[in-house]
Chain A
């Protein structure tokens, strides 16, 4: 799991907004893109994000 400090430095690479942790994913507070965490590494790639 990723720690609070790491979460704080992250931003959505698409819309620059803050992100929050939700059900094991990193979720953009603006566009709602959901970024995966793999082996403890936040994968902040647009191509890997879930987006409805």
Chain B
């Protein structure tokens, strides 16, 4: 198959590219590198089945030749990034999704949107099921990202219903692993960096807010299974093992064998208090569930952070 992926130089995109190539697909990657890096794709330099074009997917999209799948992963994804690029984030969710859907329509290709658990905002139910409508502040500090993705989902559904495009919507929950950006401000890289440097780990609020973290290999497998399925409804993908941020900080200190302490800082506005996927749908329809334990995933990630630190 011939697959086009946007945002393929990013964390999740580059791992998905690896799996696609391993499964003998041909891959064309479009990325403008605003948050991604060619380092994530450097190992593919001589791969004849892989092509990279530096392009902004909110501009006109035209690619010659057949395409079987269009995977839309381009978007700043961490709060630091989307608050730095608020307009680009809204544009890539809105115009970018419009362009990639248009391309899928022209090519009679299937389209997969990388959506997010942030469409649930600061959820009033826990765990979150796909039929929960969310609790989002459109003009809050996360609004540009949440609403961009909600618009992208609406656009995807409209193309499916109105144009009969074969679409998928993946609601991705927090994912971590190798190739995460070390300075993207999210809790996993923050804690690992601080623990490895022997600095105190910063916990916002009292640390009782919960998160669920999915290791990247599990996520990529789920995404690939969803891509190959024929499910048009949104599907949650994530690890339902929920943990308080404080417990998580202790776990990182334990696994890095660090002597770091914990410091507390005020909770940012609109920070979700709970976050846990209900993955019954993915289990039933995709026969998928995460396999890698938090300890195992974290150990691999910590190892990678250690190694890439030495290289710098």
Task: Name A residues whose Cβ lies closer than 8 Å to a Cβ of B.
Answer: 5-6, 8-11, 13-14, 16, 38-46
User: Are A44 and B65 within 8 A (Cβ)?
Assistant: no
| Residues on A with beta carbons closer than 8 Å to the beta carbon of B63 | 9, 11
What are 20 residue pairs bridging A and B, where the CB atoms are less than 8 Å apart in the complex? A5-B51, A6-B53, A8-B64, A8-B65, A9-B53, A9-B63, A9-B64, A10-B53, A10-B64, A11-B60, A11-B63, A13-B55, A13-B59, A14-B59, A16-B62, A40-B45, A41-B38, A44-B53, A45-B55, A46-B59
Measured between alpha carbons, how far is A28 from B53 in the docked complex, in Å? 15
| Residues on A with beta carbons closer than 8 Å to the beta carbon of B56 | 13, 45-46
| Residues on B with beta carbons closer than 8 Å to the beta carbon of A41 | 38, 52-54
In the complex, the number of residue pairs spanning A and B with C-beta atoms less than 8 Å apart equals 44
Q: Does B28 contact A (CB under 8 A)?
A: yes
* Top 7 closest pairs, chain A to chain B, by CB: A11-B62, A13-B59, A44-B55, A43-B54, A9-B64, A9-B63, A13-B60
Chain B residue with Cβ nearest A43: B54
- Give the size of the chain B interface in residues (CB under 8 angstroms): 16
Task: Name B residues whose Cβ lies closer than 8 Å to a Cβ of A.
Answer: 28, 32, 38, 45, 51-56, 59-60, 62-65
- Interface hub of A5, A10, A13, A43 (most chain B Cβ within 10 A): A13
Measured between alpha carbons, how far is A13 from B53 in the docked complex, in Å? 12
Measured between alpha carbons, how far is A38 from B54 in the docked complex, in Å? 10
Q: A41-B38, A45-B32 are in contact. Are A6 and B54 (CB under 8 A)?
A: no
Measured between alpha carbons, how far is A44 from B28 in the docked complex, in Å? 14
Chain B residue with Cβ nearest A46: B59
Chain A residue with Cβ nearest B58: A13
Measured between alpha carbons, how far is A48 from B45 in the docked complex, in Å? 23
| Residues on A with beta carbons closer than 8 Å to the beta carbon of B52 | 41
Measured between alpha carbons, how far is A46 from B57 in the docked complex, in Å? 12
Measured between alpha carbons, how far is A16 from B103 in the docked complex, in Å? 13
Measured between alpha carbons, how far is A38 from B52 in the docked complex, in Å? 12
Measured between alpha carbons, how far is A46 from B60 in the docked complex, in Å? 11
Measured between alpha carbons, how far is A42 from B32 in the docked complex, in Å? 11
